[in-house]
Amino acid sequence: MTVTSAILLVGGMGTRMQPLTLSTPKPMLELLGRPITEHQIMKAKEAGIQEIVLATSYLSEVFIPHFGDGSQFGIQISYAVEEVALGTGGAIRNAADSLRSDGDVIIFNGDILSAHSLQEQIAFHESNDADISLHLTRVPDARPFGVVDLDEENRISSFMEKMENPPTNVINAGCYIFNRTSIQKIPHGEVVSVERQTFPEMLKDGARVFGYIDTSYWIDIGNPSALLAATRELLQPSASGLGDDVAVDASAQLLGGTYVGAGSVIGPHSIIENSAIGRGARIGAGVRLTRCHVADGTRIPDGFIAEGQYFGFTELTGENPYN
Ligand code: GTP
């Protein structure tokens, strides 16, 4: 049996991403004109997932008008709305009630961009006859994350909270496969953290919890600078594109790997290269932007020249990936 159902956890407050998340839930922030959630849905669909439940809470009303019943994306989508946020574990338990199939379920944190193969993770889960399997990745500095210890058979032996000197750099990458028995063990209608409560309790109960280590591109889009870094990752020369109703002057040039969001205007003789321009931006005449990121609605004056900078975010935390 293979995995055909998914739950997307998209109900968090996204406090580290404020002010961008005051009116838009973090998973609805856009990467090249499409919400993070949409990138994940398309990835799930490519891996053979047929139905997805979006576990929403904070600003839940924003998701339905965009995704509807999923027919425009070729996948069945429904919604499990938490009146009071139930935490990641509580959200999984609640959303599972809305799934039509009764097979194992793949669960995504709604703020991750990852190039790992879901099909390989599913095959790994099945070949180990796992109760739960987690996608794990290695990071250069594991201090901001909880880390995971594995035995030679890739069975997880412990989960450790964030610490100053982590003994390993292998971390939980936020994509899990659960069998239904493991989901049913999560208390219903209670606030539960899957990372802090469910996983350690499952280990204590002797469950078969496995870690699928994959080190292809992975990023936790937790703060504004990570949103920029993820955008940069997607901006391949072949990924250039224009949103709807973009007005690019005939004398302007958009070069290798540039995305211009809906409703933006690019003035005469401007040259935009390997850059991401948000929605409704106004780029003046004779502007030259190389490897830049311009936030929605930002105005760049005539004659402005910049390389490797971001414009329009009121506040950035973390490292600026443009440096
Ligand atoms: P911060 O407030 O900045 O930590 O962000 P966050 O609220 O998104 O929390 P975190 O990054 O830990 O959440 C991981 C994923 O789980 C995100 O995709 C969240 O949207 C989602 N999530 C977190 N808490 C809940 C919840 O209570 N209910 C649901 N449905 N999803 C949640």
Query: One-letter amino acid identity for 157?
Result: S
At residue 226, the pLDDT reads 86
Taking the centre of ligand 1 as the mean of its atom positions, its distance from the CA of residue 25, in whole angstroms, is 10
- CATH classification for the domain delimited by 237-311, as one of 3.40.50.620, 2.60.120.380, 3.50.50.60, 2.160.10.10: 2.160.10.10
At residue 302, the pLDDT reads 96
Taking the centre of ligand 1 as the mean of its atom positions, its distance from the CA of residue 137, in whole angstroms, is 19
Is the Cβ atom of 20 under 6 angstroms away from ligand 1?
no
Q: Which protein residue has the closest C-alpha to ligand 1 atom 7?
A: 12
Average pLDDT on 92-118 reads: 97
3-state secondary structure (DSSP) of residue 35: strand
| Structural domain spans, the chain | 5-220, 237-311
Quickly name the fold that domain 5-220 has.
Spore Coat Polysaccharide Biosynthesis Protein SpsA; Chain A (3.90.550)
Average pLDDT on 15-44 reads: 91
Local confidence band at 309 (pLDDT 50, 70, 90 cut-offs): confident
Query: One-letter amino acid identity for 246?
Result: V
Query: One-letter amino acid identity for 64?
Result: I
C-alpha span between 214 and 16 (Å, rounded): 26
Low-confidence winner among 126-140, 275-289, 309-323 (lowest mean pLDDT): 309-323
- DSSP letter string over 58-114? TBGGGHHHHHTTSGGGTSEEEEEE-SS--HHHHHHHHHHTT-S--S-EEEEETTEEE
Is the Cβ atom of 81 under 6 angstroms away from ligand 1?
no
Taking the centre of ligand 1 as the mean of its atom positions, its distance from the CA of residue 290, in whole angstroms, is 34
C-alpha dist (Å) from residue 243 to 63, 113, 312: 20, 21, 19
Answer for the pair 159, 200: CB distance below 8 angstroms, yes or no.
Answer: yes
178: pLDDT strictly greater than 90? yes
304: pLDDT strictly greater than 70? yes
The sign of the dihedral angle between the CA atoms of 251, 252, 255, 260 is negative
Taking the centre of ligand 1 as the mean of its atom positions, its distance from the CA of residue 220, in whole angstroms, is 12
Local confidence band at 228 (pLDDT 50, 70, 90 cut-offs): confident
C-alpha span between 136 and 216 (Å, rounded): 11
H or E segment and range at residue 180: helix 180-184
At residue 159, the pLDDT reads 94
Q: 118-127 and 36-46 are packed helices; what angle lies between their axes, rounded to 10 degrees? A: 60
Low-confidence winner among 9-23, 241-255, 273-287 (lowest mean pLDDT): 9-23
At residue 27, the pLDDT reads 96
Local confidence band at 1 (pLDDT 50, 70, 90 cut-offs): low
Is the Cβ atom of 258 under 6 angstroms away from ligand 1?
no
Taking the centre of ligand 1 as the mean of its atom positions, its distance from the CA of residue 38, in whole angstroms, is 17
323: pLDDT strictly greater than 60? no
Q: What is the pTM of this model?
A: 0.90
Is the Cβ atom of 222 under 6 angstroms away from ligand 1?
yes
C-alpha span between 288 and 311 (Å, rounded): 14
Taking the centre of ligand 1 as the mean of its atom positions, its distance from the CA of residue 94, in whole angstroms, is 15
Is the Cβ atom of 16 under 6 angstroms away from ligand 1?
yes
pLDDT per residue as tens digits for the range 53-93: 999 999 999 999 999 999 999 999 999 999 999 999 999 99
Q: With 0-12 CB in 10 A as exposed, 13-18 as middle and 19+ as buried, what is 304?
A: middle
Look-up: residue for tokens 């004056």? 301
Look-up: residue for tokens 């499409």? 34
Local confidence band at 211 (pLDDT 50, 70, 90 cut-offs): very high
Answer for the pair 310, 292: CB distance below 8 angstroms, yes or no.
Answer: yes
244: pLDDT strictly greater than 70? yes
Local confidence band at 285 (pLDDT 50, 70, 90 cut-offs): very high
19: pLDDT strictly greater than 80? no
**Ligand 1 atom closest to 112 (CA):** 18
Could you tell me what percent of the chain has a pLDDT over 90? 78
Taking the centre of ligand 1 as the mean of its atom positions, its distance from the CA of residue 280, in whole angstroms, is 28
220: pLDDT strictly greater than 90? yes
Q: Which of the listed residues 81, 82, 88, 93 should we mutate to test ligand 1's pocket, taking the one with most ligand atoms within 8 A of CB?
A: 88
Pair type for strands 276-277 and 259-260: parallel
Provide φ and ψ at 117, rounded to 5°. -85, 120
